[in-house]
Structure 1
Amino acid sequence: MKRENFYPVVLALLWGLNWPAVKIVLSEVPVFVLRSSALAIASVLLLSAALLLRRSLVVARGSWLPLALAGALNIAAFNIFTAFAQLNTTTSRAAILTYTMPVWSTLLAALVLREPIGRDKAIALMAGAAGVTLLAAPVFAAEEFLGVILSLLAALAWAIGIVIQKKWPIAGDPVATTGYQLLIGAVISVVCLLVTRPALPEFLSLPVFGAFLFHVAGATSAAYLLWFTILDRNSASTSALLSFAVPVVGVLSAMLLVGDRPSPADTAGFAAILLAAGLAMRSSRNRDKSAPETSRL
């Protein structure tokens, strides 16, 4: 089995576990302090890795605009909206609502990029949408509207960023371009930090410090590199659908780490989303059999 087939699994684990990790960090660290520091450190880590690996840091002149837009949407908007969403609803609900992203991304890709929606993608889309609906229903019942709106804004920003990257591919080494996008997200977060001027934490407890380290090294540096690699090798809709497994990991880890508890409807939602992820992965494998690989990590 190709190692690329494990990328979505590793990504689901890293991003899924990141939801409770961020919730833990936010108990002591303000949103813009977290996002500014984490994105800045992660960008330095990746750009330093690119130098050590002797990767080119050059980006084609025509790629800077889509790179900046992708950084603003995929990184800054997504990370800021999801952090505030977790402060206004439960971690599991924020994760599930944010992962309506594959629905919007698949639809946008069909409209803007003219990507076909085959049988597997159509079933995956319907199963994923059904799963998200089951898991999101209690949020609406509880009238946690701000958490709902922020999560959906994060999903929409991410979906638009995906389509932009597929419409105008970024020419450059993936390690370097991922580092640049994280740097753009850090700059935007720093501007927000300077405007809002929140109180800085005097110290971090051990659990918060550990969660922060995982967030920076695993869920930001490594996970975004994996994500942009998946996006480079697959269509926009397939890439988005492959991420449907992330909220399942997010909800299960939230149960273990921050005390969230699923209902029977949640369990049905998990099953539907796992079906969607499996079909998306099968669609990706079928595409790989009919087309040559385009890039290497």
Structure 2
Amino acid sequence: MSTTDKAKTTTADPNASIRGARLLVLLLALAWGLNWPMSRLTLAELPPWGTRFLSLGLGTLVLFMVVVISRRRLLIRPANLIHVTVAGFFNVAAFNILNIEAIASGNASRAVVIAYSMPIWAALMAWLTVGEVFDRVRVLALLLCATGLVTLIWPLAQHGLPFSALLSLGCAFAWAIGTVYMKWADIDADAITITAWQLLVGWIFIGAGMLIFEGPPPDVTALHVTTIGPLVYNGLIGFGLAYSLWFTIVGRLPAMTASLGSLLVPVVGIAASAAILGERPTLTDYVGFALIFAAAACVLLRPNVRHTELPE
């Protein structure tokens, strides 16, 4: 190969890498977006705590395998264990139990959109706790988000306490708390390794809750294929593969482009819930979805945003 050919190949490689990473953004949105209706399908035969115990256990195993195969440092410093435990409780255990309970008691598309109001709450909490600037754009995002939530929840409140919507909101708050805590803790370790340990901690918390509220783990040998398939999807794709994709994307693309992966998730979640579960959001739902989506875009699609959130 001539010197000129080598130069052309070297020049082309970065562009090919960026194009490949952009494709990963779309794959990531599909992986996470489908995870919500798939979670609903597992509930046909499994209780909420049991389904998360099984799927999260599989996802944790997959992510630790990624850490080992990619020759990343597996262990973290003992001083960081408390940080990982706190973050694992909020980011993994609380988030996943609240979201599966919200899906079980309500509408999957509504649950995913309300949960993805997280960036607004994280920005507000970061302003209150770690002194981040809460500028006009973030104020606008907060107003849009609040209006969107009222638009979604008010019609439901006419018929009693909108329990599923409140669970989804709690899910967003738990995710935001975990995100801000990790930003404050600023752990000096590989991001995938930290995530794997958070999953393990969350899985332990969920396992303890399952034993208290539901009893021993479900017998997977008695499940139908229509339940096993979504369960395996949750574990292998929704947890294991999606986390690996996210950190690959963050490492290879500008933050604003990576943020599109997060913003596309609720769009895919709504479409997939309609196609798979037959959910039909009302016009009011769509207005609420649009307002919350716009609010999240205000926070995420900003130059030089540093991604510290654990993806969900």
User: Does the TM-score normalized on the shorter chain lie above 0.5?
Assistant: yes
Moved more, 16-25 or 1-10: 1-10
Match of 2:277, as an amino acid? V
What corresponds to 1:123 in structure 2?
140
- How far is the alpha carbon of 1:8 from its aligned partner? 6.1
What corresponds to 1:64 in structure 2?
81
- How far is the alpha carbon of 1:72 from its aligned partner? 0.8
Q: Please, what is the CA RMSD of the aligned residues?
A: 3.3
What corresponds to 1:168 in structure 2?
185
Runs (5+) with no aligned partner, structure 2:
1-14, 253-257
* Alignment check: 8 A CA contact 1:241 1:277 kept: no
1:208-230: CA deviation from partner (whole Å, max 9, x where unpaired): 22211221122112334456778
What corresponds to 1:41 in structure 2?
58
Q: Does 1:85 align with 2:88?
A: no
Match of residue 153, structure 2, among 127, 132, 136: 136
Using a 3 Å threshold, how does the CA distance of structure 1 residues 44 and 58 change in structure 2: closer, same or farther? same
What corresponds to 1:220 in structure 2?
239
The TM-score with structure 2 as length reference comes to 0.79
Moved more, 223-232 or 159-168: 223-232
* Alignment check: 8 A CA contact 1:39 1:216 kept: yes
Instruction: Return the alpha-carbon distance in structure 2 between the equivalents of residues 229 and 141 of structure 1.
Output: 45
Q: Does 1:276 align with 2:303?
A: no
Using a 3 Å threshold, how does the CA distance of structure 1 residues 194 and 34 change in structure 2: closer, same or farther? same
Structure with larger Rg: 2
The TM-score with structure 1 as length reference comes to 0.82
Match of 1:88, as an amino acid? S
* Alignment check: 8 A CA contact 2:91 2:178 kept: yes
- How far is the alpha carbon of 1:278 from its aligned partner? 4.0
What corresponds to 1:27 in structure 2?
44
1:68-89: CA deviation from partner (whole Å, max 9, x where unpaired): 1111110011111111122222
- State the identity %: 33
Instruction: Return the alpha-carbon distance in structure 1 between the equivalents of residues 211 and 277 of structure 2.
Output: 30
- How far is the alpha carbon of 1:146 from its aligned partner? 2.6
Using a 3 Å threshold, how does the CA distance of structure 1 residues 190 and 153 change in structure 2: closer, same or farther? same
1:258-287: CA deviation from partner (whole Å, max 9, x where unpaired): 11111112222333344334434430xx22
Note the 1:133-282 alignment, pairs <5 A.
Answer: 133-195=150-212, 196-197=214-215, 200=219, 202-225=221-244, 243-282=262-301
* Alignment check: 8 A CA contact 1:32 1:189 kept: yes
Runs (5+) with no aligned partner, structure 1:
234-238
Using a 3 Å threshold, how does the CA distance of structure 1 residues 71 and 7 change in structure 2: closer, same or farther? farther
Instruction: Return the alpha-carbon distance in structure 2 between the equivalents of residues 244 and 23 of structure 1.
Output: 21
Instruction: Return the alpha-carbon distance in structure 2 between the equivalents of residues 118 and 242 of structure 1.
Output: 24
Moved more, 69-78 or 185-194: 185-194
1:144-198: CA deviation from partner (whole Å, max 9, x where unpaired): 4332332222222111111110000222222222111111111111112222316
Q: Secondary structure at the match of 1:87?
A: helix
Match of 1:204, as an amino acid? L
Instruction: Return the alpha-carbon distance in structure 1 between the equivalents of residues 46 and 54 of structure 2.
Output: 11
